[in-house]
Amino acid sequence: MSTALRSETAAAGRPAKPRHAGQAVLVLAVLGLLTAWAAWGVGVDLPKVFANAGNAWGNLVQLGQPDYGFIPKTFPALLETLNMAVIATALGAAVALPLSFLASRATNPNRPLLIAVRTVLNLIRSVPDILYAAVLVAVVGVGALSGIMTLFLFNIGIIAKLVSEALDGEDLGAQEAALAAGASWFKADRAAMLPQIMPTFTSQTLYTFEINIRASAVIGLVGAGGLGVLIDNVRSFFRYHELSLIILEILVMVLVLESLSAWLRKRLV
Partner 1 sequence: MAPTPPAATQRPAKPGHPGRTIAWAVISLLVVAAFWSAKINWSALSDFPTETGKYLGLLFLPPDWSKLGEALSAMLLSVQMAWIGTLIGIVVSFPLGFLATAGISAGWLAWPLRGLFALIRAVPEVVIAILILSVTGLTPFTGALALGIGSIGTLGKWGYESFEAVDQGPLEAVRSAGGSRLDLMRWGIWPSVQAEVFSFWLYRFEINVRASAILGLIGAGGIGKMLQDNVQFRNWDAVGMLLIVVIVVTIVIDQLSGLLRQRIVHGRWSGNRAARRTGDPGKPEMSEPAGRMAL
Stretch that binds partner 1, among 5-13, 14-22, 131-139, 152-160 (CB under 8 A): 131-139
Interaction between residue 42 and partner 1 (CB under 8 A): yes
Binding mask 74-113 for partner 1 (x = CB under 8 A): -----xx-xxx-xx--x------------------x----
Binding mask 160-179 for partner 1 (x = CB under 8 A): --------xx--x--xx--x
- 170 in helix, strand or coil? coil
Question: Which residue from 77, 85, 83 is spatially nearest to 231, judged by alpha carbons?
Answer: 77
Least distance in angstroms from the C-beta of 99 to partner 1:
18
Q: How far apart are CA 206 and CA 102, in angstroms?
A: 22
Which residues 201-260 are close enough to bind partner 1 by CB under 8 A?
214-215, 217-218, 221-222, 231, 235, 238, 240, 243, 247, 250-251, 254-255, 258
Pick the closer one to partner 1 by CB: 41 or 72: 41
- 2 in helix, strand or coil? helix
The string of DSSP letters for 25-37 reads: HHHHHHHHHHHHH
Pick the closer one to partner 1 by CB: 7 or 122: 122
Q: How far apart are CA 41 and CA 152, in angstroms?
A: 35
Pick the closer one to partner 1 by CB: 7 or 259: 259
Q: Does the CA dihedral 80-82-88-90 come out positive or negative? A: negative
Say if CB 268 and CB 199 are below 8 A apart: yes
Pick the closer one to partner 1 by CB: 71 or 125: 125
Binding mask 177-206 for partner 1 (x = CB under 8 A): --xx--------------------------
Question: Which residue from 151, 267, 129, 268 is spatially nearest to 208, judged by alpha carbons?
Answer: 151
Q: How far apart are CA 178 and CA 191, in angstroms?
A: 8
Binding residues for partner 1, total number by CB under 8 A: 72
